[in-house]
């Protein structure tokens, strides 16, 4: 059963105003028009709309809450969640190539496949990788028993395959000029090429002063 409260990131005792605020915030973030009509954002936007339409209507929300409560009562709360299978049809792929993943869990009432979001306890998804990070694409399956507050996680790493050495070289060069995540060392998120440049400058100055000291 879909957890609409989880979709909106709110508690089950959220007020009507809380529901509206959560919907406005998430709808702006995931609206397809603001994300190049990406399928991932389109799916999340549909989930958010579905949750809002149900929880913003008092009658529908009451019926949903009853069904959710019955579902939780009947759930096998004393058995921890488990991942039976989580597989991909290939673990080496080119950018834009179609990937098929499948999974099966047990005793889990909240199942997520990241980066896609909430899914059924078992299923299959077909998608294309549009971007690799450092030559890799990470998939994570989370299976949670919310009544036990226990989660198990399993991952799949898909590595990038290049058509030829020229394409690999081009990808590496492009990666050198991309802004990087902000860290303690690289607080402004400078591209690798800039960090490398300053590193060489500092190294050259260190060598210069070292030679000057012993000369």
pLDDT of residue 5: 87
Say which range, 37-51, 67-81, 105-119, 135-149, has the weakest mean pLDDT.
67-81
156 pLDDT band (50/70/90 cuts)?
very high
DSSP state of 120: -
User: Which tens digit of pLDDT belongs to each residue from 93-119?
Assistant: 988 899 999 999 988 888 999 998 888
User: Where is 150: in which H helix or E strand?
Assistant: strand 150-160
Distance, CA of 193 to CA of 176 (rounded, Å): 5
Q: CA-CA distances (angstroms) from residue 52 to 61, 71, 115, 127, 147?
A: 10, 20, 22, 27, 24
Residue 76: predicted pLDDT = 56
% of the chain residues with pLDDT over 70: 86
Question: Is residue 55 within 8 Å of 15, Cβ to Cβ?
Answer: no
**Does the pLDDT value for residue 72 go beyond 70?**
no
- Structure letter (DSSP) for residue 102: E
Mean pLDDT of 166-172: 56
The residues, any chain, with a CB within 8 Å of residue 168's CB and separated by 6 or more, are 162
């Amino acid at each position: 059963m879909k957890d609409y409260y989880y979709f909106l990131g709110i508690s089950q005792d959220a007020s009507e105003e809380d529901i509206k605020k959560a919907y406005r915030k998430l709808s702006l973030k995931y609206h397809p028009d603001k994300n190049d009509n990406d399928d991932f954002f389109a799916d999340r936007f549909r989930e958010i709309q579905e949750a809002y339409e149900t929880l913003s209507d008092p009658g529908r929300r009451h019926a949903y809450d009853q069904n959710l409560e019955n579902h939780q009562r009947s759930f096998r709360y004393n058995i921890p969640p488990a991942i039976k299978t989580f597989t991909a049809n290939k673990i080496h792929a080119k950018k834009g190539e179609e990937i098929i993943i499948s999974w099966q869990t047990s005793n889990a009432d909240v199942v997520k496949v990241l980066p896609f979001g909430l899914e059924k306890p078992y299923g299959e998804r077909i998608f294309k990788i549009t971007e690799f990070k450092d030559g890799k694409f990470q998939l994570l399956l989370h299976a949670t028993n919310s009544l036990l507050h226990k989660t198990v996680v399993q991952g799949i790493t898909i590595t990038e395959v290049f058509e030829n050495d020229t394409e690999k070289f081009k990808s590496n060069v492009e990666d050198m000029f991309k802004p990087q995540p902000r860290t303690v060392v690289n607080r402004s998120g400078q591209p690798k090429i800039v960090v490398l440049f300053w590193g060489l400058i500092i190294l050259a100055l260190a060598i210069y002063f070292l030679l000057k000291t012993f000369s």
